[in-house]
């Protein structure tokens, strides 16, 4: 089976990074539970929204992301049984390419460069399964789709869903 796995909000915790940076810089107390059904920038006052929207353009943002729990263990096992590719629409943020490559070297060294697709539009991907947090990517995929739960997508009911990597393990291992 050929499996594509997204990075941000699936194996790399970009959402929590937005909250942490925002809280630090604005001395705020935004919490994950305040964010269900919304993008991080939609959870803060209008005058602060642009600041959050620009996080992803900062040098170092993608280098410092925390790993989503259990993703390393489950992906290691999956990659022994299947063709597992990391697929990230990284071209949206060109400075992220190096950071994402370095991040994968550090945390997912068992996924070699040949299995890393840093791309533009994901409609080009053809395979059996796509694990992603964004409807816009999942709805154009021909194979099975699993929506990985992130605060912004909690209200979406259009896709099979996994809340955690343990859920992925239960479904696929
Ligand atoms: Mg994502």
Q: What is the pLDDT of residues 10-24, one digit of tens each?
A: 999 999 999 999 999
Ligand 1 centroid distance, CA of 2 (Å): 18
Instruction: Find, among 63, 45, 55, 51, the residue nearest to 15 by Cα.
Output: 55
- Residue 128 annotated as catalytic: no
Considering the domain architecture, whether residues 43 and 54 belong to the same structural domain is answered as: yes
Considering the domain architecture, whether residues 81 and 132 belong to the same structural domain is answered as: yes
pLDDT for res 165: 98
Domain span including residue 57: 14-63
- Whole-model pTM: value is 0.97
Q: Beta partners for 4?
A: 85, 130
Ligand 1 centroid distance, CA of 47 (Å): 26
Considering the domain architecture, whether residues 113 and 147 belong to the same structural domain is answered as: yes
Considering the domain architecture, whether residues 161 and 80 belong to the same structural domain is answered as: yes
**CATH of residue 98:** 3.40.50.1000
Contact 29, 108 (CB under 8 A): no
Considering the domain architecture, whether residues 92 and 148 belong to the same structural domain is answered as: yes
What is the Cα–Cα distance from 55 to 24, expressed in whole angstroms? 13
Tens of pLDDT, residues 80-133: 999 999 999 999 999 999 999 999 999 999 999 999 999 999 999 999 999 999
Written as one string, the DSSP assignment of 110-170 is TS-GGGEEE-S-GGG--SSEEEES-HHHHTT-SSEEEEEP-GGGTT--SSEEESSHHHHHH
Ligand 1 centroid distance, CA of 135 (Å): 10
What is the Cα–Cα distance from 145 to 157, expressed in whole angstroms? 12
Considering the domain architecture, whether residues 133 and 80 belong to the same structural domain is answered as: yes
- Residue 142 annotated as catalytic: no
Considering the domain architecture, whether residues 166 and 106 belong to the same structural domain is answered as: yes
Contact 128, 136 (CB under 8 A): no
Considering the domain architecture, whether residues 70 and 141 belong to the same structural domain is answered as: yes
Considering the domain architecture, whether residues 20 and 41 belong to the same structural domain is answered as: yes
Neighbours of 8 (CB within 10 A): 25
Q: Report the Cα 113 to chain-centroid distance in Å.
A: 18
- The structural domain count of the chain equals 2
Ligand 1 centroid distance, CA of 92 (Å): 12
Chain-wide mean pLDDT for the chain? 97
Considering the domain architecture, whether residues 36 and 90 belong to the same structural domain is answered as: no
Considering the domain architecture, whether residues 29 and 97 belong to the same structural domain is answered as: no
């Amino acid at each position: 089976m050929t499996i594509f796995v997204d990075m941000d909000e699936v194996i790399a915790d970009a959402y929590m990074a937005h909250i942490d940076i925002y809280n630090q810089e604005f001395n705020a107390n935004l919490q994950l539970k305040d964010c269900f059904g919304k993008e991080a920038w939609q959870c803060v006052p209008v005058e602060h929204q642009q600041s959050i929207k620009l996080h992803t353009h900062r040098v170092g943002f993608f280098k410092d992301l925390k790993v989503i729990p259990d993703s390393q263990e489950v992906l290691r096992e999956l990659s022994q049984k299947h063709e597992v590719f990391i697929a990230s629409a990284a071209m949206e943020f060109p400075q992220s390419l190096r950071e994402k490559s370095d991040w994968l070297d550090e945390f997912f060294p068992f996924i070699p460069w040949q299995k890393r697709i840093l791309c533009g539009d994901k409609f080009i991907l053809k395979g059996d399964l796509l694990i992603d947090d964004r409807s816009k990517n999942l709805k154009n995929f021909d194979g099975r789709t699993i929506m990985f739960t992130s605060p912004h997508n909690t209200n979406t009911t259009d896709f099979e869903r996994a809340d955690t990597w343990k859920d992925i393990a239960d479904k696929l291992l």
